[in-house]
Structure 1
Amino acid sequence: MSEFLRNNWFVVVIAVIIIAFVSYFIYDENKYNVSAKSDSDGNQVVASIDKKDITANDIYDQSAPFDTALLYNLYHNQVVDQSVKTTDDLDEKAKDLKKTIEQNVSSSSSQNSESQIETELASFGYNGIDQLYDYCLMTVKEAKMQRDYIEDHFDEVTPALQENKPRTISIISMQVQDLAALTEDEQKKKDNIDSALSSGSFADAATAYSEDTATASDDGFYGYVDANSVNSQYSTLNAQVIQAALNLEKDQTSDWIEVTDSSSGLKYLYKVHVDETDIQSIWDSKNETVSNNILSAFLTANQGLSVKIVQENAKDLDIEFKDKDVQKRIEDYINDQTGGNSNEE
């Protein structure tokens, strides 16, 4: 379920945080620390970020045992919130994201969808569905923070992504009864597609003949893929088609690709065309889905980049740890996620 929310959101940027449970509550380790700061309600303060406190209750109130990732997420949430100003645009994006999640919950066949989301939210330090908007706002704020960082460090983070052969592609598909023996009508349609491709554009052929209605209505445009898409359980395109696309150069079109759907047994013929391979051009895309996908791809390709970006922004904040054990846990987590390359002062 750890990917349930992210798989449905237009920003796919939180996936880099790994939840790893620790055996003991931090309360047991620090309850006798009488020198710790307390807030006005008497709650023990474990850290302060630009005068906003993270209290022990923020940790203890979670339904699951305390773990280091949860503590890091509380710290992370405060850094993101205070590093990025809430604008009208971000507010609208957060509301849209919240609406999308709620619609997915209401349309889900699973009776446990809402409780699963609440569990997911709790793992990131939020107290259930009532704080869904807060989480959505943090998510879109972090996406902006990440985009700004990548924009400023583009040449630095591009080589790792280049190794994954990023590209945008278009497709044409047609369903057949038997890949080894096409019917007369199937052969005629296949020949018509070949003729349209030889005399015109891939986009025109896709619009006229492709049976993939989701892409045919957009000139056959499928979107972003890279090497990580081949084995991704969230890819909506067959791995054979993606692999064929990775073997092509810009503006090249594949031969016919024979695909048998592993779940349904249905058989298809595909053509795939590579629209763009230049990372800068893909990054500058006006297509929101492509833009979100390449942002996620940058974060995936560069180890610990999401955590590193949080740390770079944290340097501009007034952060004071009231509990040295908490500080060490967070620092150890950061070093683990970044491979010891967090560039901390």
Structure 2
Amino acid sequence: MGTFLKKNWFVSLIIVVFAAMTVFYIYDTNKGKLKGKTSGGEDVVYSIGDSDVTASQYYDDLYKTAGADTVVNLFQRAVADTAVKTTNEMKDAASSQAASIISNYSSSYGSSYESALAADLASTGFTDLEEYLLFEQKMDKIAADYAKANFDDLKIRRISYILIKYDDANNVTANPTEAEAAKMKAVDDMLASGKTFAETATQYTEDESAKESGGDLGVIDKNTSNLDSVFFEEAMSLSEGQVSDWVKSPSFGYFKIMCTAATQKTLEEGFTDSDPYVSLVQGYDTTLALDALWEKAEELGIDFKGNADIEKTIRTAFGKEADSAAPEATAEPEKSAEPEKSAEPEKSAEPEASATPEASADTEKGN
């Protein structure tokens, strides 16, 4: 990273410390509290000559000059930093991710990669890439813990599928063609012979992106909204271990769906090297971050120090206004229901599953 980012990282870090320590909430008055100078019962952020600037004054000024997005961003970072301790493992992961991102930017932008990266990073409210990646890890941890605690209500489950594509996607028939029906029968026969769903998917699915994983779609829940409606309805109706009838999607072909896990025990046992709840909140339900972070802030003892403007701004951003209805779920829920992070540095170059049942078309059950 360049000198500019390094210098601004220090400024950013100071702001986060102020936010975490002095303004928005009290996290146990007996610990984690700096016993420094106070004025009128409030912590003093800094002094100029004989004039003391208190936390409330500091954030009033910040709110007026930087605007609502900055205040909300600082609030989120303060909650995340207080709720989740930074570990060496997290630092190592952030460092590795940062190196990969920098390499990608360097390949894409050449000698101007630093300015391109800095511009994208600025849209997230951060000036240091590794600090941003640490924050993302903490947000994922908070959202994942929330998902686990609300497992039954969210109806979390892991889904696998087999796809038989149309012979001619431009001329879809009402019923399966002879060739399509033969492929579907081969799948049914292999399953009936005692072969596992994963083995059958590896041999017969025509979604190349799912062959290696044995047809594994991943972890979904009731908030998932980017799957075909009938595919999703069928997936959510299955009990653990149950296999569906064939589901017809006008966009892709015929799907056979299996619920491989619908209990915490089975779900967690199936993830030996990763966290299924992190997989969920990074993939098929990115709507949980705001509720999870707000719940965590309340656990920590949120306190707006009587600043109605800041309180209203933050409550509005989190959809927690007393008289407001819950925000509607968009067709593709994004983690950035919080202040926009549209140009954030991408952490993975994972290719999209070309035939994954996305919510681009209506579906209907086939034969």
Same fold (TM over 0.5): yes
Counterpart CA distance in 2 for 1:311 and 1:216 is 44
Kindly provide the CA deviation profile for residues 260-286 of structure 1, in whole angstroms up to 9, marking residues without a partner as x: 32xxxxx42211111111245435643
Task: State the partner residue of 2:55.
Answer: 47
Partner of 1:331: 311
Contact 1:93 1:140 in 2 (8 A): no
Which residue of the other structure, out of 300, 316, 327, is the alignment partner of 1:313?
300
Flag structure 1 segments of 5+ consecutive residues without an equivalent: 1-34, 262-266
What letter matches 1:72 in structure 2? V
State yes or no: 1:273 paired with 2:281. no
Q: Per-residue displacement from partner, 1:147-197 (whole Å, max 9, x unpaired)?
A: 56776xx3xx34542xxx321111111222244265654443222112112
Contact 1:303 1:339 in 2 (8 A): no
What TM-score do the two structures reach when normalised by structure 1?
Answer: 0.61
Tell me if the contact between 2:162 and 2:205 (Cα under 8 Å) persists in the aligned partners.
yes
Aligned length: 270
Once the two structures are aligned, what percentage of the paired residues are identical? 27
SS in 2 for 1:173: strand
Give the 3-state SS of the residue equivalent to 1:304 in structure 2.
helix
Is the 2:167–2:179 Cα contact (8 Å) retained in structure 1?
Answer: no
Instruction: Indicate if the aligned counterparts of 1:68 and 1:333 stay in contact, CA closer than 8 A.
Output: yes
* 1:198-277 matches, cutoff 5 A: 198-199=192-193, 200-229=195-224, 231-232=225-226, 237-261=227-251, 267-277=252-262
Aligned equivalent of 2:135: 138
Contact 1:253–1:274 (8 Å) recurs in 2: yes
Amino acid across the alignment from 1:274: C
- Do the aligned partners of residues 259 and 37 (structure 1) sit closer, same or farther apart at CA in structure 2, a change above 3 Å counting? same
Contact 1:68 1:329 in 2 (8 A): no
* Residue 26 of structure 1: aligned partner: none
Q: Does 1:88 align with 2:88?
A: yes
Report the CA distance between 1:59 and its aligned residue.
6.6
Instruction: Tell me which amino acid in the other structure corresponds to 1:98.
Output: A
Q: Which AA in structure 1 matches 2:255? A: Y
**What corresponds to 1:68 in structure 2?**
68
Which residue does 2:267 correspond to in 1?
282
SS in 2 for 1:288: coil
* Contact 2:161–2:217, Cα closer than 8 Å, also in 1: yes
The 3 A distance-change label for structure 1 pair 94 and 70 is same
CA RMSD of aligned residues (A): 4.3
Q: Indicate conservation of the 8 Å contact 2:43/2:54, yes or no.
A: yes
Q: Distance in 1 between matches of 2:139 and 2:289?
A: 17
Distance in structure 1 (CA, Å) of the matches to 2:301 and 2:103: 34
CA–CA separation in structure 1 for the residues paired with 2:144 and 2:125: 24
Give the corresponding residue for 1:125.
125
Amino acid at match of 1:328: A
- Within the candidate set 267, 287, 292, 2:278 is matched to 292
- CA gap 1:146/1:166 in 2 versus in 1, 3 angstroms: closer
- The alignment partner of 1:227 has SS state of coil
What is the CA-CA distance between 1:136 and the residue it aligns to?
A: 0.7
Is the 8 Å Cα contact of residues 160 and 302 (structure 1) preserved in structure 2?
no
CA distance in 1, matches of 2:87, 2:299: 21
Q: Does 1:193 align with 2:187?
A: yes
Relative to structure 1, is the Cα distance of residues 150 and 250 closer, same or farther in structure 2, using a 3 angstrom cutoff?
A: closer
Distance 1:139 1:256 in 2: 39
**Structure 1 residue 330, shift from structure 2 partner:** 3.6
